[in-house]
Amino acid sequence: MMHQRPRISDVARLAGVSTATVSRALSNPALVSEETRAAVDQAVQATGYRINHAARNLRHRRTGGIVALVPGLANPFFSQILSGIASVLAPAGYNLLVADTRSAGADTLLSYAEPSRADGLIVLDGTLPAAGLTRMPVVLACEWVPGLIAPRVKIDNREAAAMAVNHLADLGHRRIGHVAGPPGNVLTEARQAGWQEACIARGLTPDPALLYPGDFGLDSGQRAARLWLDQPKDSRPTAVFLASDEMACGFIGEVVRHGIRVPQDLSVVGFDDIELVAHIAPPLTTIRQPRNQLGRIAAERLLARLEGRVDDTDTVLPVELVLRGSTAPPRG
């Protein structure tokens, strides 16, 4: 859709120099004399010239685009990560292309991860096949793809889960339940393992009856709550640690509707600290992930890679247990 846009040759003609000189004056001003630079600048002003990225990209054999592969654009958890990514990509002159790994087919995703479309990849979905992701520099953020060697920006999910369990154990809870994430997800495994280990370390039993299936989504939290409600009162957990805040919201909503009081009758700890959970009643005690920072660092590490600085170490960001109103000592 480029109409009659001025080209570099128009600028050159007006400034009385060659196109090569205009190009240099624009991209590497130190290379030309001061007068030339001034003449070119003036001609740029006069013509309203703006560079044509497609031409420049073709010449540079790059695309200027970075693709973020997100499992569910509609998931509020990812929007702040994207926000962080965008905030470092834009100043560096890269476009952020966003692709939803849930709504797009495998072939669409592969076509996004194509060298002529993007220069690099930020993968936020750990369930993608590693094979398709090796065609360009890639950074893994939050989730990671087992077997894919690439820098990862993540948190210590095991430790984070242990923080939640320890908080509940400190309050005096002896039966601490866990609502897990989707099966096969690396985060699910790490958080569940953290729950299990921390329970054992505190002399508690991570009984299978205390473990509920989930998928990070609201509805699965609600389903877990129904399972909990169906359990005998004297053997069900007095506290539940859920692998996502969304599930925690669904869980609390459902038990409250059945007359359970949180935290008096049941303590709940979530995971993520999405913005909203500070404002529900009761405000949710949860594990805060530095989402914006996760995005920024992932983008920075990808840029470093694109500049040739290769470094496959992991960046592990600190999490924080945010104490709010959804946890209390068990009754009696």
Partner DNA sequence: CTGAAAGCGCTTACAG
Single out the residue of 147, 150, 154 nearest to residue 136, CA to CA. 150
Contacts for 306 with CB less than 8 Å, ≥ 6 apart: 119, 120, 137
Residue 291 tokens, joined? 């989402």
134, interface contact from DNA, a copy of itself, none, CB < 5-8 Å by kind: none
189, containing H or E segment:
helix 186-201
Strands, sheet with 267-272, edge to edge from the N-terminal-most edge strand = 211-212, 176-179, 239-242, 267-272, 285-288, 320-322
Q: Is 222 in the site for a copy of itself (CB under 8 A)?
A: yes
Q: Could you say which of 14, 36, 144, 192 contacts DNA (CB under 7 A)?
A: 36
Q: Is 30 in the site for a copy of itself (CB under 8 A)?
A: no
271-285: b or e for each residue (b if 16 or more CB lie within 10 Å)? bbbbeebeebebebb
Contacts for 185 with CB less than 8 Å, ≥ 6 apart: 126, 127, 143
For 134-238, strand residue ranges (E) read: 138-141, 152-155, 176-179, 211-212
Q: Tell me how far, at minimum, the Cβ of 1 lies from a copy of itself, in Å.
A: 5
Q: At what angle do helices 291-306 and 76-89 cross, to 10 degrees?
A: 40
49, interface contact from a copy of itself, DNA, none, CB < 5-8 Å by kind: DNA
Q: Could you say which of 38, 42, 45, 58 contacts DNA (CB under 7 A)?
A: 58
83, interface contact from DNA, a copy of itself, none, CB < 5-8 Å by kind: a copy of itself
C-alpha separations of 112 from 68, 104, 328 in Å? 9, 10, 48
Q: Could you say which of 35, 61, 147, 232 contacts a copy of itself (CB under 8 A)?
A: 61
Q: Could you say which of 126, 206, 221, 237 contacts a copy of itself (CB under 8 A)?
A: 221
95, interface contact from a copy of itself, DNA, none, CB < 5-8 Å by kind: a copy of itself
Q: Is 246 in the site for a copy of itself (CB under 8 A)?
A: yes
Q: Is 106 in the site for a copy of itself (CB under 8 A)?
A: no
Placement of tokens 């007359």 in the chain: 259
Binding-site residue total for DNA (CB under 7 A)?
A: 30
CB atoms inside a 10 Å sphere around CB 168:
30
117, interface contact from a copy of itself, DNA, none, CB < 5-8 Å by kind: a copy of itself
Q: Tell me how far, at minimum, the Cβ of 7 lies from a copy of itself, in Å.
A: 11
Q: Could you say which of 8, 186, 247, 269 contacts DNA (CB under 7 A)?
A: 8
C-alpha separations of 300 from 35, 83, 121, 136, 315 in Å? 37, 13, 12, 16, 11
Return the SS3 of 68: strand
Q: Is 285 in the site for a copy of itself (CB under 8 A)?
A: no
Q: Which residues bind a copy of itself (CB under 8 A)?
A: 1-3, 5, 50-55, 57-58, 61-63, 65, 72-76, 78-80, 82-83, 86-87, 90-91, 95-100, 103-104, 108, 114-117, 119-120, 136-137, 218, 221-222, 246, 249-250, 252-254, 256-257, 275-276, 278-281, 283, 292, 306
Q: Which residues bind DNA (CB under 7 A)?
A: 2, 5, 7-9, 16-21, 23-24, 26-27, 30-33, 35-36, 49, 51-52, 55-56, 58-61
